[in-house]
Amino acid sequence: MNRKVLVFAPHNDDEVLGAGGTMIKLQKKGFEIVVCEVTAGPTAKVIKEEAKQAHGRMKVSETIFLDLPACGLEEMSKTQMNGAFCKVVRDVKPEIVFIPHYGDMHLDHRWVAEAAMVAVRPLHAPSVKTVLAYETLSETEWNTPSVNNAFIPNCWVDISDEIEEKLAAMECYRSQLNDFPHPRSLRAIRALAEYRGSTIGAEAAEAFMLIRGVF
């Protein structure tokens, strides 16, 4: 089996916020980790360097930069965007795929989730056995409350042994970090991990919505 994990990140740092501890845990278990950074904005040069530093700490095998327009995915041709995502999945042939939660505040997250789901359709991506949606601080919890936007976790990963490594990776994103009580602060990231951990009897955890699981 091709033991690869593919993480779609609408913006640089989303992958660490949503699944950083799980990525580190899976890498320790022998999986190759590939991150697809979807968009690039005005500060692309700076944040790409930060991403490379963070991914180096996490032992990410490959980082793919699609360089699609940040805050402009809605205006892109769906054929063009879906084609780019499908090519990534075809090239990587992952077993596990992480995508952002469809109901997040930032519309880039929605379009990435939608295009990723097109790309991982079973008939076109038979290597994909598991698809999980992650939560992103300041995006998942800030949208208008509704049944369509709610993040309802049904899968947790114990990252008690990986939480410090996750925070160290996030520290590489200096341009994105803020002081508490901003949700994108090291203290808030730890607090969420501890809260998610408390629901499963662990020191720290990351929560996901399992979209597909083939066992």
Q: Which CATH superfamily is domain 4-213 in?
A: LmbE-like (3.40.50.10320)
pLDDT at 42: 85
pLDDT at 1: 57
pTM for this predicted structure: 0.97
Mean pLDDT (the chain) is 96
pLDDT, tens only, 94-128: 999 999 999 999 999 999 999 999 999 999 999 99
Enumerate residues 6+ apart whose C-beta is below 8 A from 89.
6, 97, 119, 120, 124, 125, 128
Q: Which residues pair with 35 in a beta bridge?
A: 7, 63
Q: For 42-68, what is the mean pLDDT?
A: 96
Residue 41 has pLDDT above 90, yes or no: no
Ramachandran region of residue 93, left (φ > 0), alpha (ψ -120 to 50) or beta? left
pLDDT, tens only, 150-204: 999 999 999 999 999 999 999 999 999 999 999 999 999 999 999 999 999 999 9
**CB count, 10 Å around CB of 148?**
9
**Angle at CA 172, nearest 5°, toward 2 and 191?**
85
Instruction: Outline where DSSP puts E strands in 92-179.
Output: 96-100, 130-134, 155-158
Residue 67 has pLDDT above 80, yes or no: yes
CA–CA separation, 182 and 194 (whole Å)? 17
Residue 38 has pLDDT above 80, yes or no: yes
